[in-house]
Chains A and B, each alone.
Chain A
Amino acid sequence: MTTYIIRRLLLMIPTLLGMTFMLFAVVRFAPGLTTGGGQFSAGIMQSRQAQKQEQEIMERRLHLVDKNGHPISLVMQYILWLKSTCEGHLGTSIVYQEPVLTLIEQRLPVTLTINAIAMAVIYLVSIPGGLITALNQGRLIDRGYGFLSLALYSLPVIWLGSTVLGFLANPQYFNWFPSAGLHSTNTGNMTFFRYIADYLYHIVLPIVCSVYGGFAFLSKQIRGSILENLQQDYVRTARAKGLPESTVLMRHVFRNSLLNLITLTGMSLPGLLSGSVIIEQIFSINGMGRLAYTSTLARDLPVIQDLALVGSVLTLLSYLAVDICYHLADPRVTYG
């Protein structure tokens, strides 16, 4: 196993190199100028001299020119970027004037909390949902749950988000939830429990919009997996040796069916770190999604490159973690 892990880690190096090259090429060859903070927000142009000076600073920062102002070749630019990234310098945002790492530090907790809660809710609903529908295959509850979850899956989040915001956070209809942000304004006067309650109250609508589309996929996966396992020989053997049905289901079928979840969970781990642009926009949440979106529009190259790079590394690590977990969970899986 150790050899396998070392081999996988070593294999990640060329994969990562390929990824960085692709990233660099896509970002550099995309059309459009880095428009800077002011221009982007106000939708106006700057004076000629200001533009020139900004351009010069940007070119230096992006390694487009050397100290004397001479242009650097694309290959050299790529090597310089790779070198500084390997040294742990993730670059500084042109628009925000802050290191990309600081920007991630500011926004990641917000996105991570919402996504983690949303993920927990999806699992808490989908696992029992999948189990119940599998055990009641073909019955009304199975068809009803399937129909409902697919119907929810089909609703566009932009429509549902605007609708719940317009009706459930509107003093003219139902003023049940706040319409924006993650906290009230006077949190300084709140006790610890009140603060937590205030936070939970604020994230109800964003969480609702994050989870409703996730039920269908996970439930269907678990349902399919349970049905598949129910037809296995070991289930027949367990029943034949007289084990109670609940033990057969929970100890054998359900446990084995959860193996599929390892892959699903592993693949969704990188997604935990990237926020939904639409949800963050509708509910005015400053998370990772908005950061990526605004940076792309403003052509903030260091942020775009580094966010994509962090995402790529996390994806590779997640796949490795999935393989290791498979081995730990299922002794039949071995890696030579």
Chain B
Amino acid sequence: MDNRFTLKDFIFAVLLLLIIGAAVMAMSQFNYVNQQVIALSNQIKTLNEQQLAQTQLLQQIVQHGLRIQSGNGKTPSASQKDIRETLPDGTRYVCYPNPPLLPHNPYSLPDYARGDWLVENLGEQPRTLAPFVARDEGATIVQGWVQESLLSRDPLTLKWEPWLARSYRISPNGLKITFKIRRRACFSNGQPVTAQDVLFSYNTMMNPGVDDAPQRVYLNDVKSCRAVGKRTVVFMFKHPYFKSLEVVGGISVLPESVYKFKKASEFNKRGRLLVGSGPYMFDKWTGGEIVLVRNPRYWGPLPTFNRIIYRFIQNPQAALQAFLAGQIDTDSPQPSQWIKYIKQPEFAKTHHCYKFLTPAAGYEFVCWNLKKPEFKDRLTRTALCMLVDRNAIIKTFLHGLAQPMTGPFNPLSPQNDPNIKSIPYDPAKAKALLQRAGWKMGPDGILQRDGKPFKFQILLPSRDPLIQNICVYMKQQFAKAGIDMNVQPLEFSVMIEKIDNRQFSSFFLGWSGGIESDPYQIWDSACYADKGSNAGDFDNAQADKLIAEGRREMNTAKRMAIWHKFQAIVYREQPYMFLFTSEALMFINQRFHNTAPVGKFGPLEANWFVPLKQQKYQ
């Protein structure tokens, strides 16, 4: 065997060194070019900033004359008269010559400055950003900056106000809604927002091939949508429906020129195409973040931040640490994290910490299968509710960061009747009620009725330890009264299948909320059949009648009275054990100013700003 280092080996080694050297030199050269590109892009950014400042100045001059520059602190919309009136024939007419500015808007504050980035955490990465098709909460947040609708909800009054629309008019019978679009509203590509774009957006939503079934069902009552001229859109409805204004006024308006498609599947698959008339433009979506940049052509007040970046940190511990390290600017902590950090005086001083309940928050509940003999009478259901101390659940498992529910409506929603009080925790009274309902203690310590023991199973999603802990607590409480509850955690998809097939006695789940929700889907007796959402078979003729009346009633005050009556029936019947609605928790980096919660919606990012000296990202 020849072990000598030969000429051949030498040449090979030299060649290898040459290749390595060339690679290093190429990388250095690339690095140098990269530096030059960054320097150049920084110059372009500076130029853009200057251009933005000029655009802003021009906008102020054109829209409001010199009044803003004189610093009198009045909002632009105050300069022109807003109209909100009911005409003699019953037509409701609302006109805002200028889009309403958010309450507590920052523009007139002395240290207000544009610039800096807002870096937030979305948790889970959205599955798609395609309008109408995307359903995750994260996608909705991102879309909210880029796309706008004809109306927007006022955070103080919770009413729908004109936004892309300058005005809207509702006919006396509620069957016709006419929108007039603002003249200066335009998309980020510079094209004006027209009635044709609204029509295109509506038609896209109604296209059966477009994967937006959950949203499309809300438009089933729309008879037609017409574009009249360039800026007028008319929606006709089959029946009066209290959510008519919301469902059509809330449609995201898409630019037809960008989104037009031949096959619906094309539209579904454009998960990374996001264009609209909003204050920010979609820039990129990499594996780790979604980047939005300011829309320099925005038709409203120029937005504050240069960029908004959304990262995807699923682990709550990692998210909090990233927040503490300044890698993200906000965090929604877990209740246990909130309790731990809020107690530290230094932390509370150096961060903005907010907890608040929003009227759109959902609630947790236990649904009883009313077809099962053990749950058929309301005395038993009420007794079960009395056996569970919901205040103790909130205090122990949620660190007091939730509120008990008295019915299907959020405590902050006008739908909720504040006079209805939560069913008290009263085991003695519960036992008396169970006795009245015909339950007698058996020899094995389990209650019996008609020879059958009070034993049942509760289904719950296996991924949620909080729900599991609550169910174990409930099991102990029920056992004290002689009721045997078997806790059965299941994977979510398996659990839904069992609920759909009505193979359950009871289940623990949550409903998402709405400021004014339509009770039909969950509570109308017609929604039991065909795998409907009234899984427990709540069948009450009086409640059905009230739901039908409420859905047709266009007068808000009268409708709220109907919902209150409906809530009283649900309270009396107790088809669910209504548990709690959780409070939202938020930590915000100290460099952001004007972060105080606005109305009932909590802190609104559109109001935040960073004074020039504290800006972190240039």
Interface residues of A (CB under 8 A from B): 31-54, 57, 92, 95-99, 106-107, 110, 162, 165-166, 169-172, 175, 178-186, 188-193, 247, 251, 281-284, 286, 297-299
With both chains docked as a complex, state the minimum distance between the C-beta of B217 and any C-beta of chain A, in angstroms: 4
Q: When the two chains form the complex, which single residue of A40, A170, A191, A281 contacts B34, counting CB atoms closer than 8 Å?
A: A191
Residue of A99, A191, A281 ringed by the most chain B CB atoms within 10 A: A191
Q: Do A48 and B269 have beta carbons less than 8 Å apart? A: no
Q: Do A43 and B287 have beta carbons less than 8 Å apart? A: no
Q: Which chain B residue lies CB-closest to A189?
A: B38
Q: When the two chains form the complex, which single residue of B31, B220, B496 contacts A35, counting CB atoms closer than 8 Å?
A: B496
List 12 A-B residue pairs with CB atoms under 8 Å apart, sorted by A's residue number: A32-B493, A43-B492, A45-B511, A50-B213, A50-B214, A96-B128, A171-B321, A180-B321, A181-B289, A183-B286, A191-B31, A297-B493
List the one stretch of B70-78, B97-105, B473-481, B529-537 in contact with chain A. B529-537
In the complex, chain A residues whose CB is within 8 Å of the CB of B208: 53
Q: When the two chains form the complex, which single residue of A46, A97, A172, A247 contacts B324, counting CB atoms closer than 8 Å?
A: A172
Q: Do A166 and B532 have beta carbons less than 8 Å apart? A: no
Given A48-B532, A57-B211, A284-B313; A97-B136 close (CB under 8 Å): no
Q: Do A171 and B287 have beta carbons less than 8 Å apart? A: no
**B507-543 interface bits toward A, Cβ cutoff 8 Å, 1 = contact, 0 = none:** 0011110000000010000010011110000000000
Q: Do B322 and A33 have beta carbons less than 8 Å apart? A: no
| A73 CA to B311 CA, complexed, in Å | 44
B288 at the interface (CB under 8 A from A): yes
Residue of A37, A165, A175, A299 ringed by the most chain B CB atoms within 10 A: A37
In the complex, chain A residues whose CB is within 8 Å of the CB of B42: 189
B12 at the interface (CB under 8 A from A): no
| A306 CA to B125 CA, complexed, in Å | 21
In the complex, chain A residues whose CB is within 8 Å of the CB of B133: 97
Q: Which chain B residue lies CB-closest to A44?
A: B512
With both chains docked as a complex, state the minimum distance between the C-beta of B270 and any C-beta of chain A, in angstroms: 9
B488 at the interface (CB under 8 A from A): no
| A52 CA to B500 CA, complexed, in Å | 11
In the complex, chain B residues whose CB is within 8 Å of the CB of A282: 315, 318
| A89 CA to B286 CA, complexed, in Å | 25
Q: When the two chains form the complex, which single residue of A33, A52, A98, A171 contacts B493, counting CB atoms closer than 8 Å?
A: A33
| A162 CA to B530 CA, complexed, in Å | 45
Q: Do B216 and A53 have beta carbons less than 8 Å apart? A: yes
| A58 CA to B354 CA, complexed, in Å | 42
Q: When the two chains form the complex, which single residue of A42, A97, A175, A181 contacts B269, counting CB atoms closer than 8 Å?
A: A97
B309 at the interface (CB under 8 A from A): yes
Given A171-B324, A178-B325; A284-B315 close (CB under 8 Å): yes
With both chains docked as a complex, state the minimum distance between the C-beta of A82 and any C-beta of chain B, in angstroms: 22
The 9 closest A-B pairs by CB, nearest first: A38-B135, A32-B493, A53-B213, A50-B214, A179-B321, A48-B532, A180-B313, A32-B494, A284-B313
With both chains docked as a complex, state the minimum distance between the C-beta of A190 and any C-beta of chain B, in angstroms: 8
| A43 CA to B496 CA, complexed, in Å | 10
Q: When the two chains form the complex, which single residue of A41, A49, A169 contacts B136, counting CB atoms closer than 8 Å?
A: A41
In the complex, chain B residues whose CB is within 8 Å of the CB of A54: 213-214
Q: Which chain A residue lies CB-closest to B209?
A: A57
Q: Do A46 and B214 have beta carbons less than 8 Å apart? A: yes
Q: Do B315 and A281 have beta carbons less than 8 Å apart? A: yes
With both chains docked as a complex, state the minimum distance between the C-beta of A156 and any C-beta of chain B, in angstroms: 16
B51 at the interface (CB under 8 A from A): no
Q: How many residues of B contact A (CB 8 A)?
A: 73
Given A166-B317, A180-B313, A185-B309; A37-B135 close (CB under 8 Å): yes
In the complex, chain B residues whose CB is within 8 Å of the CB of A39: 492, 496
Q: Do A284 and B494 have beta carbons less than 8 Å apart? A: no
| A8 CA to B513 CA, complexed, in Å | 59
Q: When the two chains form the complex, which single residue of B117, B119, B271 contacts A97, counting CB atoms closer than 8 Å?
A: B271
Given A39-B496, A180-B315, A191-B34, 10 other A-B contacts at CB below 8 A?
A37-B128, A98-B128, A99-B269, A165-B315, A172-B324, A178-B325, A188-B41, A189-B38, A189-B42, A251-B1
| A299 CA to B496 CA, complexed, in Å | 12
In the complex, chain A residues whose CB is within 8 Å of the CB of B521: 47-48
Q: When the two chains form the complex, which single residue of B213, B319, B511, B532 contacts A44, counting CB atoms closer than 8 Å?
A: B511
Interface residues of B (CB under 8 A from A): 1, 3, 27, 30-31, 34-35, 38, 41-42, 117, 119, 124-125, 127-128, 130, 133-137, 208, 211, 213-214, 216-217, 220, 268-269, 271, 286-289, 309, 311-315, 317-319, 321-322, 324-325, 327, 362, 461, 463-464, 491-494, 496-497, 499-500, 509-512, 521, 527, 530-533, 617
| A251 CA to B1 CA, complexed, in Å | 10
In the complex, chain A residues whose CB is within 8 Å of the CB of B217: 47, 49-50, 53
| A170 CA to B340 CA, complexed, in Å | 15
Q: When the two chains form the complex, which single residue of A41, A95, A179, A281 contacts B325, counting CB atoms closer than 8 Å?
A: A179
Q: Do A165 and B493 have beta carbons less than 8 Å apart? A: no
Residue of A43, A53, A191 ringed by the most chain B CB atoms within 10 A: A43
Residue of B30, B38, B315 ringed by the most chain A CB atoms within 10 A: B315
Q: When the two chains form the complex, which single residue of A52, A180, A251 contacts B319, counting CB atoms closer than 8 Å?
A: A180
| A35 CA to B286 CA, complexed, in Å | 26
Q: Do B497 and A179 have beta carbons less than 8 Å apart? A: no
| A34 CA to B492 CA, complexed, in Å | 10
In the complex, chain A residues whose CB is within 8 Å of the CB of B527: 48
With both chains docked as a complex, state the minimum distance between the C-beta of B250 and any C-beta of chain A, in angstroms: 16
In the complex, chain A residues whose CB is within 8 Å of the CB of B318: 165, 169, 179-180, 282-284
Q: Do B213 and A45 have beta carbons less than 8 Å apart? A: no
Given A97-B211, A191-B38; A298-B493 close (CB under 8 Å): yes
| A110 CA to B288 CA, complexed, in Å | 10
Q: Which chain B residue lies CB-closest to A107?
A: B287
Given A50-B217, A97-B128; A44-B509 close (CB under 8 Å): yes
Q: Which chain A residue lies CB-closest to B307?
A: A185
With both chains docked as a complex, state the minimum distance between the C-beta of A28 and any C-beta of chain B, in angstroms: 14
Q: When the two chains form the complex, which single residue of A49, A98, A171, A175 contacts B271, counting CB atoms closer than 8 Å?
A: A98
With both chains docked as a complex, state the minimum distance between the C-beta of B279 and any C-beta of chain A, in angstroms: 20
Q: Do A31 and B214 have beta carbons less than 8 Å apart? A: no
Q: Do B325 and A171 have beta carbons less than 8 Å apart? A: yes
Q: When the two chains form the complex, which single residue of B31, B134, B216, B322 contacts A178, counting CB atoms closer than 8 Å?
A: B322
| A57 CA to B209 CA, complexed, in Å | 8
| A107 CA to B127 CA, complexed, in Å | 13
Q: Do A96 and B271 have beta carbons less than 8 Å apart? A: yes
| A30 CA to B288 CA, complexed, in Å | 32
Given A186-B617, A247-B3, A283-B318; A48-B530 close (CB under 8 Å): yes
